[in-house]
Each structure stands twice: as C-alpha cells, then as structure tokens.
Structure 1
Amino acid sequence: MNDRQPTSAAVVGPPGREARPALEIAVTSAAGAVVARDGGADRVELCTALELGGVTPAQGLVEAVVTVGIPAHVLVRCRPGDFVYDEDEIATMIREVRAVVASGARGVVVGALGPDGMLDIATIARLRSAARDVRADVEVTVHRAIDHAADPIAAAATLPTLGVTRVLTSGGAATAPQGLATITRMVAAAGPVQVMAGSGVAPQDVPAFANAGVAAVHLSAKRLVAGRGTRASRVPMGVAGEDTHLATDPAVVAAARAAVDAVR
C-alpha cells in the first residue's frame, strides 16, 4: 500500500526552479483507485464512460472508491456531447454534486459553456455552491469544457472570480503536449487557480509541464483489457469493442510517479 501523504497542490521548489506537480489519475473503478493509490498518485478523478470523455459515476461506485482511502474527485457530467446544458440537466448535476460530496468525495469536477462559446459562469457558480453547501472545504475543478471555449486563455482569466480550486485543460488542443504553449499562458491568466494538464499526457511529458508551471498532471494511465467470458454468438450492444474494457495500468502509474518525483 502507498504510504505517501496525498496532497492536492504542487510541491513548490526554490524560485527559478521547476515545481513538482501533483499526480492525478483518472479511474473508472475501485480497482483502478487501488492501483493509483498503491502506485503513489496524489488523488484520483473518478468517472465512468472514459471513452466518451467521462460522465457521472454511479453512487455505489463513488462510495466504493471513497473507501479506498485516496482523495477522490468525482466528475459530474450528466451526459456525453457538448457542454451547453438546459435547466433540467443543470438541476440533475446539482443533485449529483450534492450526492457525491455527501458520500465523501474530496472534490467535484464540473463545467459548462454558453451557446456563445464562453464559460457558463452562472452554471459553474451554482454547481460550486451546491458542493460547498454540503461541505465547505470541498475542492472544485473546472473540467475540459474550457478546451471547447472560444478562447481558453480568456476563459482561464475568469476563473479566479468563481472561487474554484483548479482547471483541467489540454490547452484547447487534442492533447496537452500539443497545447503546451497555450497551457503556459493559461497558468499566467488563471492567477491563484491551479492549472492541471491533461489529455494524452505521458510520463516523459512531466518535466515540460512542470517547467510550464502547472500545479498537477492528469493521466488516464489506461490499458485495454479483453473480456473474460465467451459467447457463442456476437449480439451487438450498441458500441464497438464491447468485449473489452479499460483498466488502470500500474506500470504507467509507477512511471508517472517516478517522473513527478524526478522534478527538482
């Protein structure tokens, strides 16, 4: 079992040196949370349907991951697709936020856009307030809706007015390494709000992100696992690759931990 003390913030080094970012692993199961914990992750982001960008996990799964003992930040996203929500969807996510925080989640991961491509400040504020009405110290992360904003850097500059903890971003690019230059500018724009780099991050990318000033790196650390059963006939269930699923890879988590620890 991992005996490291989890932290939600980067370990800041001397002026002019890289900061050591926190390590967050995206998981979809309690087993994945155990792998992340034992591999030295600082926290996990819990979701389901990672292949669809992630949606809110079931309540029982949230409770199971909380018992693992690693700080769990739960994605609250009521459906895949775009980030422009109607009032019924927002009301659903407010209920989900309250439920996961009441179940022991250390943080929630939320976001929304307006039809104009700007962050939906009012909706994000409602979700933040719903979380902190349940527990005042809960951390609030704005998810990669910001990467779909018309101007991710301008959007990052609005975050301090929201009172959120951090933002997860690829810098508006398909992967965070491709968006590194934008992420660097978002770090400056976001002020006290932590910037966490995620999407396509590999352990070898950690030094560049640390040098850019990010507070955390986010990896899915996933591998494809074949199904354990056999079927005489293949009955389609609506998605391709339904005989496989994604699992957290301990080797990738360990390599990421080593890369973070190597930052000085």
Structure 2
Amino acid sequence: MTESPLAPAIEGVGDGTADRLVVGFNWTAVQCGADIGLAWSPRGMAGARTTPETGSYAGRTLAELARLFLSDNPYERSIGLAAVNAFWNRPSPALRDGDGLSPWAQDLDGRAAELARTVIIGRFPGLDVKFPGATVVELDPREGEVAYADAGPVLAAAQAVVMTASTLVNGTAAEILAGVSPEAKVSVVGPSVPLCPGLLAGPVRRLAGFVVTEPQAAYTAVMEGAGAKALKRFGRPVTLTADQA
C-alpha cells in the first residue's frame, strides 16, 4: 500500500486536544485553544459518510484525530486533515505571505513558454489569468480539460504541477505525486494544506496554506457554510518552501 502523502505531518502532531469540531457545508474545522485547522469538507465525495463515532470526536487529542486521515472514508479524512492543520498551521514569523499561485514562469528563469508544461490538478477561480496555457486535470472535466483517469502522460511530462488541497481529502494526492517526474516542481495549495516542513520532499517544493488569525470568527463562518473567499477575512494565506524548511 502506498504510504500516505501526509505521513510526516501526521506523525509529527504533538500535544493538544480538540476543544471543538465542526463539519460544515464547505469546510471542516478543528479548534485547539486559539488555533484552528481547516480541511475541505467531503460533501458529494464518493464514500463519504458519518460513522458511529460521530458526536464524540471533540475532546480527543489532535494526534488521535490526525490518524483519521488514513481512513478510506473522506468524511474521516477531512476531520483528520483539519486536526493535522490545527497543529501545524499556526502563526509564525517564518512563514511568507502568499497563496502559492504566482505563475510558475517566475520560478523557471522567466520562460513563459514553460507555462504550457504546467499541470493544474483541480480548477480554481482566475486560473486562466494566473496560468494561461496550462493543462487542467479534473475528476469531472469540462471542455478543454483532461480527465483525471487520462492524466498519466501529462503528469509525467510536466515541468511544474500545482495540486489543490482537495486532492488530500479525495484520496488522489499519493497517486498524483507518484506519477510526476522527480525533476518537476510541485506546489500544493489551499487552506487545507499542512505547513509541515517534512512534506517538502521529493518533487514537492512549495506548500501554500492558511493560518487563521481570528479563530472565533472563522469558526462561526465555517458553521454558517462560508466558502474560501469569505474565510480569507479571518486569516492569512502563507507559503513554506524548501529553502525555508
């Protein structure tokens, strides 16, 4: 069995208890003291279901909840990922501001032509402006996009890959990372990304996550079904790169 792509982050979760937990319409949140970890909720994902444990997750240690990420159930994976992020995604002066979505051409000697060899896993707003000419891979592709099932050749040839954090919850991240060239630069982006230095290994060169700075407001927003845009007011997007780790 392929090792979880989050193994270093899960194993590194230390002391802390989940004071409260919510699986919201768009986001799942685990709060530990003043720290909140977020993960994309598994609404609509195949196999996502509540369990007999539902209603008893709050009060458990972050380390115990983090191991739920290893479940085959996206509902539990989401809780596990949020617990991982409650530990790792904390304010730190070492983190750089940024959402990790600057054009990769800036990291490739300014060669704009290389954007044509950039693969985006999971669409997001403004994609055509930030990455013109990039190949988009989706589980449910639109016209002009590549189906995930057919993405092997484009991943193997990619110079740069940008993975949205939804790949962590839907279970495709490990297969994607196994399919890219060792020379490719991989960036994992989104509020669900753990800012764990141990994840910067192999082709993964950049983590772009989110640190909540207003925990009560963020938690309330999650309970009310806020999307990513609404949550931005309550934290800061930050990046961690291999040269910082």
Common fold, TM-score beyond 0.5?
no
Indicate the structure whose relative CO is greater, using CA pairs within 8 Å and at least 6 residues apart: 2
Taking structure 1 as the reference length, the TM-score comes to 0.31
Q: Which has the larger strand fraction?
A: 2
TM-score (norm. length: structure 2): 0.33
More helix by share: 1
